[in-house]
Structure 1
Amino acid sequence: MSEAATPTVTASPGLLASLDPLLREWLPRQRWFAGKGRPVTGFSLVAATELLPSPRLPAPLGQGGAPVSRLGLYHLLVRAHQPLVPAPGAPEQPGDCYQLLIGVREALPPRLAPALIGHVTEGPLAGRTVYDALYDARPAEVLLEALRTRARIGRLRFERETDQEIRTGLVPRLMTAEQSNSSVVYGDTFILKLLRRIVPGVNPDLELPLALARAGCPRVPAPTAWMTADLAGRPWVLGVLQPYVQGATDGWELALRELAKGEDFAAEARALGRATAEVHTALARALPTVTLGHSQLRQLVEGMVERLEAAVQAVPVLRPYAPGLRSAFTALDDLAAEGHTWTAQRVHGDLHLGQCLRSPSGEWSLIDFEGEPARPLAERRMPQPPVRDIAGMLRSFDYAAHSAESPVPGWAETCRAAYCSGYAEVSGRDPRTDPVMLRAYETDKAIYEVVYEARHRPDWLPVPLSAVRRLATAGV
C-alpha cells in the first residue's frame, strides 16, 4: 500500500477537507509549486501533526479590551491530485507531495497579510484564518526548539549532530527571495531550509553535505540538525539546518553586479572552479565511484535522447535543431564504443551561480545539493561524470551574460575558460580536454532549460535557444 493511502494523523479529523478549497486556490500560486498549468482537483493526506493546539475557544482580551489572537500550528504532508494534461475530462493522477506548515488564528494581524491562505468556513477550523506559518516568528521558533531538543512529535523526527549546539533566543526571519523551497534564518547564525516537494528516501540535500562535512571539506556548510518524517518504514527528509554565512553574496548576484559595472569576473570564476573541484574530490573520497563503459554510457545517452525527443514534443521550436543536438549524444556513444571509459561519482546535480556563496573573506561555498527537483530521487542519487556539474556552471555564465542590461562582449567565454582552468588546478583534469562529453552534458542541460523556460518564463526562452543553436552545430 502506498504512503498516500495510509495517512498518519495526529490532528483533528476532517482537517484536510476543511482546508481543501483554500489550498486549491493558494497552492498553485506558490513559487515552489511544481504542477503549474494544471488545475488541482483534490488532495490526499500523507501525514498531519498538530504542533500547537488550534484555538477553539473565544480569544481572551488583552490590554485595552482587544482580543488576543491565539495560535494553532499544523504540519501537513499533502499530495495534490491533478489531471495528466490541462484539459476537461483528462484522467487524474496523484501528484507531488508538499510540506505545509499551517498557522491558525482567529484573525490575522496586518504584518502577516502576505502569508494569508484564507478563511475557513466549515470543519474543525470553521471561522478561523489559516496562513503560511513560516512568515510568523512563533512557529519558526517551534521548529528550532524541536531541533535543539531532538524532539519526537508524532511521526516527525528532529535530529542534531551531537557536537553541535543550538542557542535559544535566536530571532527568525523568512527569506522572501524566490526559491523552489523555503528558508528561515535564525539570528544570522543558522539557516533552516524547508523542502517543499517531499519524496521518500535519502535526500541528497542532507546526504551529501553530511558526507562532505565528515570528510572535512570546508566548501559546504555542515548540517547542524535536520528534520524527517518516519512514514511506512521509510525516512522523508523535510528540512536541514546549517550555519548561515553572514554577509555572503550568491554567485548570481555577484556576477550581475560585476557585469553592470563592466568589471571582469575571471578571477572569481577561477576561484569558483577551484572550489567545485575541491568538492568533487572530497565526494569521490567519501562515497563510491564507478567506471562507465560502453553499456553504461549507452544507457546515459539513451536517457539524453529520450529527453530531447520529449522536449521537441513539448517545445516545437526545438524541432529544426533536433538532428544536430542528437549528434552531441551519438558522438559520445561512438566514443564509448571505441573503448573510452569515464569515472562517475556523486555530484551536486544542479550546479549554477545561484548555488554558490562568496563570503566577505572571498571564500566560495557550494549549497543546495538537492539536485534537479523535477527528476526522480533515484536518478538524482546516481553517480554521474563530474562534467555534469561543470556543464551546469558553464550554462550559468551564459545566462548571466544574457541578463546584463549592457552586454559585455566575450564575458561568458572568459568566465568559462577561467572556471575550467581553476578546476584543472585542483583536479588535474581540464574539462575542455574531453570536448565530446562536455558538449553532450551542455546540450542536455540546454534542452532542460528550454523546456523550463517555455513552461515558466517564456521571456527567457531566447537564452537557452541561443545555446541550442551553438551546440547543434558544434560537432559539424
Structure 2
Amino acid sequence: MSALTDLLRDWMPHQRWFGSKGREWTDISEDGFLLDRSDPVLSVHRVRVTYADGPSETYLVPLSWRDHPAEDLESAFVGAVAGDGRETYAYDAMRDRDATASWLIHLVNASTVGPMHFHPAGVAYIPEGLPGDIVSGEQSNTSLIYGSEAILKLFRRLEPGLNPDVEVHDALRRTENPHIAPLLGHIEIDDPDPANPPATVAMLQTFVPNASDGWRLATASVRDLYMEGDLHADEVGGDFAADSERLGAATASVHADMAQVLPTEPAGDDWYAAAAAQMDERLTAAIEIVPQLAEQADGLRSLYAEVARSREPVVRQRIHGDLHLGQVLRTATGWIVLDFEGEPARPLASRRELDSPLRDVAGMLRSFDYAARHMLVEQPDDAQRAYRAQEWAARNRAAYCDGYSAASGLDPCGGSPLLRAFEADKAVYECVYEARNRPHWLMIPLNSLSRLTSPE
C-alpha cells in the first residue's frame, strides 16, 4: 500500500461526503492523474474502497500539492508524502481556492485530460478565471461557487452512467423552465472497465444569487407562529401559505416539462403490486432498526395493500426523487428547484426509473410536517405548541396542493391511496435515518405514522 493510500484511509472516513462511516475496510486502492501542473499542482484520484460487509465504492478525491505547509489551509490538510528527499503536502483541493480555477478553464476549452472529459453546454457564459468558494454544510457532494455567476457540484461517489441531475437539467434546457438553474456544462471520467459508460464527475449551473433556502423560510414562519400566543397561522405576519402555494405551482410546472422532454408511460397493473411490495420490504427492514415501528406495521401494511388493489390513473415519468424544502430556493421572481439526482444512497439505475409524480408531492408534504414539528423536539409535552404545529402543517400542505392543482389541473391530494402510502413510506425512511443520526428527532416521523395509519 502506498503512502498516499495510507493517508486517504485515515482522512476519508472523517469527511462529510464519505457515505460509509463505520463500515470495516478490507482494501483501498487509488489511481490518479494531474489536472493542473501549475502552483499548486492539482491531481485527481479515484479511490476504491472495499468493505468486509458488501460491495466496494469509488470516490473522487481532488488533491492540491504544495512544497510547504499552508497555515490557512490547516482544515483542508490531508497529509505529507515523502519523496526524492523532501516532503510535499496534500490538501483537499476543493477547499484550496488557488486550485479551483482549473475546472472552469477546462470546461471552457472542452478539454480531455487523461480519462476526464469536459463538456460545456455551449449556450451560456462560463466565468473562466474565477476561483471557487466552497459551500459549507453539504454531505454527499461538494460544491464551489464562482463569484455570483456559477456553481460547480462535484459528485464524490462515482457510478458508471450519466447522473440524473445532469440528464434532467440538460433535457429541461429545451423547455426554458423558469424554476430551474440552467446547466452550463458537465464533466465525465472514463470507467476503468471499458465495458462501462463514463461516470459523471461534476456539473456546472448558473448560480442563483440573493435566494433564500425553503427550509429556513418555512421554519422561520413556524417560529413566528409559536411566538404569537393568540393568533392563528393565517394571522401571523410570517404566514408561509402564499409561498407554499407558489411552490406547488412550481413543482407542477417542472413535472409537466419533465414529462414533455423525458420518457413517460402509463402504469400497468403489475406496477401497483410491485410498488406496494417494495414499500412492505422497506418496512420489514426498517423494523429491524427501529423496533417501535412494529406498533404501526399492521396499519402501514393495510395502506400498502390498498395501493396494490388501486387502479387510480398513474402516468409514470421521471421525477425529482428527493424533493423537500431544503431542495428549493425562493428568489425575487419565484421558486427554483435544485438537485435532481434523487437519493444519493440509492443505485443510479433505480434513481432513473419512471415513477409517479406523487412521490415528489409526498416528499414535500413530509417536509412541511417536519418544518412544523421540529421545534416540538425541545418541548414534546407542550400541547399548545403541538396544536399550532398541526395548524401550520395543515395550512401549508393544503396551500401547496392548491398551487399544484391550479397549475396542473390535477388535485394531487384528493384522497389518493398512493399519495398516503408514499407519505408513509417516506416517514418509515425518516425513522431509520433519525434512529441512526438524531434519535431525539425520531418522535417526528413516528407521530406522523400514527396520523397516517389512523382512520380518518
- With structure 1 as the length reference, what TM-score do the two structures score? 0.86
Q: How many residues align?
A: 431
Q: CA offset at residue 138 of structure 1?
A: 2.2
In 2, Cα distance between equivalents of 1:22 and 1:452: 30
Deviations 1:175-197 (A, max 9, x none): 11233211100011000011111
Counterpart Cα distance in 2 of 1:40 and 1:124: 30
Contact 2:104 2:127 in 1 (8 A): no
The percent of aligned pairs where both chains have the same amino acid is 42
Q: In the alignment, which residue of structure 2 is the partner of 1:244?
A: 207
After superposition, the Cα gap between the structure-2 partners of 1:308 and 1:352, relative to the gap in structure 1 and judged at 3 Å, is: same
1:302 match: secondary structure: helix
Aligned twin of 1:162 = 122
- What corresponds to 1:108 in structure 2? 69
> In the TM superposition, what is the alpha-carbon distance from 1:282 to its structure 2 partner?
0.4
Structure 1 runs, 4 residues or longer, greater than 4 Å off: 123-126
Q: Which runs of 5+ in 1 are unaligned?
A: 1-15, 55-69, 85-92
Residues 24, 42 of structure 1: 8 Å contact kept: no
Shift of 1:118: 2.1
Q: Describe how 1:444-459 pairs up with structure 2 within 5 A.
A: 444-459=425-440
Contact 2:190 2:199 survives alignment (8 Å): yes
Note the C-alpha offset of 1:80: 1.5
Residue 387 of structure 1 is matched in structure 2 by 358
C-alpha separation in 2, matches of 1:136 and 1:421: 46
Task: Name which of 22, 29, 38 aligns with 2:7.
Answer: 22
Structure 1 equivalent of residue 18 of structure 2? 33
- Secondary structure in 1 aligned to 2:310? helix
- The equivalent residue for 2:320 is 348
Alignment of 1:311-460 (within 5 A): 311-336=286-311, 340-359=312-331, 361-404=332-375, 407=385, 408-409=388-389, 410-460=391-441
- CA shift, 1:108, in A, is 2.9
Shift of 1:124: 8.0
Amino acid at match of 2:412: P
The whole-number CA distance in structure 2 between the counterparts of 1:75 and 1:129 is 15
Residue 73 to residue 169, structure 1, CA distance change in 2 (3 Å): closer
Aligned pairs for 1:58-457 (under 5 A) are: 70-84=39-53, 93-120=54-81, 127-231=87-191, 232=194, 233-262=196-225, 263-336=238-311, 340-359=312-331, 361-404=332-375, 407=385, 408-409=388-389, 410-457=391-438
Deviation larger for 194-203 or 457-466: 457-466
Between 423-432 and 161-170, report the one with greater CA deviation.
Answer: 161-170
Mark the runs of 5 or more structure 2 residues left unpaired by the alignment: 226-237, 380-384
Is contact 1:24-1:41 (8 Å) kept?
no
Q: Deviations over 1:315-335 (max 9, x none)?
A: 222122111111111111122
Change (3 A) 1:44 1:426: same
Check the 8 A contact 1:401/1:412 in 2, yes or no: yes
Distance apart, 1:271 and its partner CA: 0.5
Deviates more, 1:72-81 or 1:268-277: 72-81
State the SS of the aligned residue for 1:432.
coil
TM-score (norm: length of structure 2): 0.90
Give the Cα separation in 2 of the matches to 1:269 and 1:95.
Answer: 41
Deviation per residue, 1:110-168 (Å, 9 max, x gap): 221111122335x6897322221111112210111111111110110011122222233
* 2:59 alignment partner AA: Y
1:234 alignment partner, SS class: coil
